[in-house]
Amino acid sequence: MGSRKFYHLIVVLLVSVIALSLFTVLPMIRSAHAAGQLFISPASRPTLPMGSIFTEQVNVSSIDLMDTWDITVSTNSSVITPTQISVTGNILGSAVEFVNCVNGVGTGCVISDTAGFAHSAATSSSGLPRSGSGLLFTVTYQVVGEGYSFISIPPTVSSNQILFQGNPVSHDTSSAVYGTPVAFDYSLSNSGPVTIQQGSSGTVTITATLSAGTAQPVTLSCVSSSLPTGITCGSFSVNPVTPIASGATSSLPISIASSLAPGSYTLQVTGTPAGTTVSAATTIVSVTVVTLTASPDFTLTASPTSVTVSVGVADTSTITVGPLNGFTGDVSLTSDNASCSLTPATVSGGSGTSTLSCTFSTTGSFVVTVTGTSRSLVHTATVDFTVTAAAGFDLSWQGYDWDGGHEEILYFNGQFLTSLPPVDTPSNGGAWASLSFDITSYVVKGTNTLTFTHANWDCSVSDSVRNLQLTNGTMVVYGNATASPLACSQPLTYTFSV
């Protein structure tokens, strides 16, 4: 009889332990669902008196399992400026901060942390992930100027990271605003009147000036119903154009048919803002068509007219000035794109060549217009540049005895990069294993620092790193073949320049 009571007691205890375990673990396990949200709260805040202090929360909702964040919040520092970051009460419970940087000052700051930036990064000190909804950190701000400011998280990978075991956790991001934004408004003007011979072409500069609010892209077009027969518009050199207070410009080639009678004409250029309710602005371009004569003139051509180049790499097109009807004048050459230069800038004696060299910092398609001017004579030539992304940066190395899941932790320029291997890998024990990581979004121009650290366990075996190599496409940027020890109390650091 006593044995049966003992048996029943054991069964009850086992059921209780299992139930308690499920109660503890199940809240941490979430099934796959739509992306969680990363947001700033409150989403809007009215204008406050100068010197006022207020706090904004950076929160998540419906987030999948996470154990680390690395997030930057930016503002207009002439209106509100961050003063401190706090991770008290965060969703992870107990967290280890490895970045707490305000206005470029603090722990773990990177080169992009400047005035108006609050950069926070932390990881779970217990190693346990969390999911659901809650606070990541708070930022305290002080009002320092009049106006409004968006409180936003930049969309770059390095500024918006929520991670689980080193892997990104999918989420959407929304921003907040302090004060009342001013509605976007702008105006268009032009450099006319322009004088063009029959059968020839000229260029007019369209200027988009921001008069209020935050600029939006504006698509330029010639109003077809305003074009006289015999006058045609070419492609705008920049389209859409984003208005700025000092005026953003775009060049418009205008062609005149040889049959068009001399005289004064007008055409209308309009701008259509993207995604706003602002009315389209217009500007009237005056064109004077003069009689075609056999007077001295010149031609302006480009070769090649289409160039494909990578970001940050210079490429060229040859601009040729040719004489017509005994032309012997000097031709001054200019480009409408600040990423380009012309050498020489003047072709003397009526004929010769100049090299158009362009180095672009962003990808995309760019129409570069070269204008040649000799007194009243003006001609243009265009070159289409297709700019592709530069090759990425890949880091590769061999690790000895890298067998425990997340045993080794990598930091790049003070930022958490990853922890490896992602899971326990017994086959790596007592052996060299090849590993790699794409660090394109982390590399900065100048000096970069890579640090390996060992988790504070399995300390009896000294792990190692050898054959470390950083490549950019087919080019080796940095290499170190030496086998160097890595232990719990002995991190390993490499420094190189890009």
Question: Based on the domain organization, do 66 and 172 belong to the same domain?
Answer: yes
Question: Based on the domain organization, do 209 and 161 belong to the same domain?
Answer: no
Domain count of the chain?
4
Mean pLDDT score of the chain? 88
Segment 371-376 shows an average pLDDT of 95
Look at residue 16 in the predicted model and tell me its pLDDT: 43
Q: In Å, how far are 78, 202, 219, 385 from 235, measured between CA atoms?
A: 38, 12, 12, 14
Is 161 a residue whose pLDDT tops 70?
yes
The residue with tokens 């069964």 is 11
pLDDT digits (tens, 9 = 90+) for 272-283: 887 666 778 999
Give the pLDDT band (50/70/90) at residue 13. Answer: very low
Question: Based on the domain organization, do 127 and 162 belong to the same domain?
Answer: yes
Token reading at 149: 């400011």
d(CA 270, CA 277): 15
Look at residue 277 in the predicted model and tell me its pLDDT: 63
In a domain? residue 24: no
Segment 421-425 shows an average pLDDT of 91
In a domain? residue 260: yes
Higher pLDDT, 30 or 485: 485
For residue 396, is it left (φ>0), alpha (ψ between -120 and 50) or beta?
beta
Is 318 a residue whose pLDDT tops 60?
yes
Is 4 a residue whose pLDDT tops 50?
no
Look at residue 19 in the predicted model and tell me its pLDDT: 37
Look at residue 35 in the predicted model and tell me its pLDDT: 78
Is 12 a residue whose pLDDT tops 60?
no
Question: Based on the domain organization, do 202 and 151 belong to the same domain?
Answer: no
pLDDT digits (tens, 9 = 90+) for 180-226: 888 888 999 999 899 999 999 999 999 999 988 878 899 999 999 99
pLDDT digits (tens, 9 = 90+) for 198-207: 999 999 999 9
In a domain? residue 191: yes
Q: In the listed set 369, 388, 407, which residue is the last one of a domain according to the structure?
A: 388
What is the secondary structure of 180-207 as a DSSP string? -PPPPEEEEEE---EEEETT-EEEEEEE
Give the pLDDT band (50/70/90) at residue 28. Answer: very low
Q: In the listed set 290, 324, 341, which residue is the last one of a domain according to the structure?
A: 290
Is 248 a residue whose pLDDT tops 90?
yes
Residue 487 belongs to domain spanning: 393-497
Segment 124-150 shows an average pLDDT of 93
Question: Based on the domain organization, do 369 and 410 belong to the same domain?
Answer: no
Do 143 and 50 contact (CB within 8 A), yes or no? yes
Segment 300-321 shows an average pLDDT of 92
Give the DSSP H/E element, type plus range, for residue 296. Answer: none
Segment 111-137 shows an average pLDDT of 93
The CATH number of whichever domain residue 478 belongs to comes to 2.60.60
In a domain? residue 14: no
Give the pLDDT band (50/70/90) at residue 11. Answer: very low
Question: Based on the domain organization, do 381 and 415 belong to the same domain?
Answer: no
The CATH number of whichever domain residue 352 belongs to comes to 2.60.40.10
Question: Based on the domain organization, do 384 and 401 belong to the same domain?
Answer: no
What is the secondary structure of 339-390 as a DSSP string? TEEEESSEE-TT-EEEEEEE--SS-EEEEEEEEEEETTEEEEEEEEEEEEPP
Token reading at 160: 């918006």
Look at residue 459 in the predicted model and tell me its pLDDT: 87
Segment 366-376 shows an average pLDDT of 96
Look at residue 97 in the predicted model and tell me its pLDDT: 94
Handedness of CA 70, 73, 77, 83 (dihedral sign): negative
Question: Based on the domain organization, do 420 and 312 belong to the same domain?
Answer: no
Question: Based on the domain organization, do 164 and 40 belong to the same domain?
Answer: yes
Is 264 a residue whose pLDDT tops 80?
yes
Is 72 a residue whose pLDDT tops 80?
yes
Question: Based on the domain organization, do 404 and 429 belong to the same domain?
Answer: yes
Look at residue 483 in the predicted model and tell me its pLDDT: 94
Higher pLDDT, 153 or 280: 153
In a domain? residue 8: no
In a domain? residue 5: no
d(CA 284, CA 268): 5
The residue with tokens 């068509």 is 289
Q: What percent of the chain has pLDDT over 70?
A: 92
In a domain? residue 1: no
Q: In the listed set 290, 319, 354, which residue is the last one of a domain according to the structure?
A: 290
pLDDT digits (tens, 9 = 90+) for 320-346: 999 998 899 999 999 999 999 999 999
Question: Based on the domain organization, do 301 and 171 belong to the same domain?
Answer: no
In a domain? residue 115: yes
The CATH number of whichever domain residue 106 belongs to comes to 2.60.40.680
Look at residue 118 in the predicted model and tell me its pLDDT: 95
Higher pLDDT, 10 or 378: 378
Question: Based on the domain organization, do 331 and 219 belong to the same domain?
Answer: no
